[in-house]
Amino acid sequence: MNYEKLAEVAVRDPLSLTTRKERKSLLGIGIVAIAVVKIGLVPTKISALGIEFSATDQKHIYHILAVIVIYYLVAFTFYALSDFISWRIAVAAALHEEMNIPIPTRSIDETPDEVIALRAKMQSMKEQLDSYHTDDLKRRLGRALFFRPNFAIRLSSMVSLGRIVIEFLIPICVGIYATWILFKAFPS
């Protein structure tokens, strides 16, 4: 079997350019919001624009920051979810290809006979998969992902997991935390 393709798909960049921009914006505004609340960096004056903030205006900055963080958090979440799903589909397709399991497809134009044949084929595939002993399948997958001679291929699944944390979870956590502390810090 050729495990290089599976490893390559597992460690490829999971984010599109649009999602990466949203991620960058979410992290940036999230860090600014956290700094504003934790350090108390509420501006009293923007001299470049000639704007001065009264005490009432200053407390509205928290509201504005919260809305901006929520917008970027929601936008990034939807973009990232879309990219994550397509990335995991590509990994699953590569895994199916490596294990020589055909990916079932279905067309809207199928006749009843084709549907029956497809169901029989899918049942046969299910029986084939069920015939593998669970431990044997785990051993094969483990060998496929972790115990290949090539060090880079063995590390691909760990790198893939690390990218999930860095690319998807950390920005969402920063956005949630920034929103939470902004709502908590709203002056009354």
pLDDT in tens, 66-120: 999 999 999 999 999 998 888 888 877 777 776 665 555 555 565 667 667 767 7
126-161 per-position pLDDT tens digit:
666 666 555 565 555 555 555 544 565 566 767 777
Residue 20's CB: how many other CB atoms inside 10 A? 17
Paired tokens of 59: 């407390």
Mean of the per-residue pLDDT values for the chain? 76
Half-sphere exposure (Cβ direction) of 63: Cα atoms closer than 13 Å: 7
Query: What number of CA atoms fall less than 13 Å from residue 86's CA on the CB side?
Result: 11
Strand partners, 46: 51
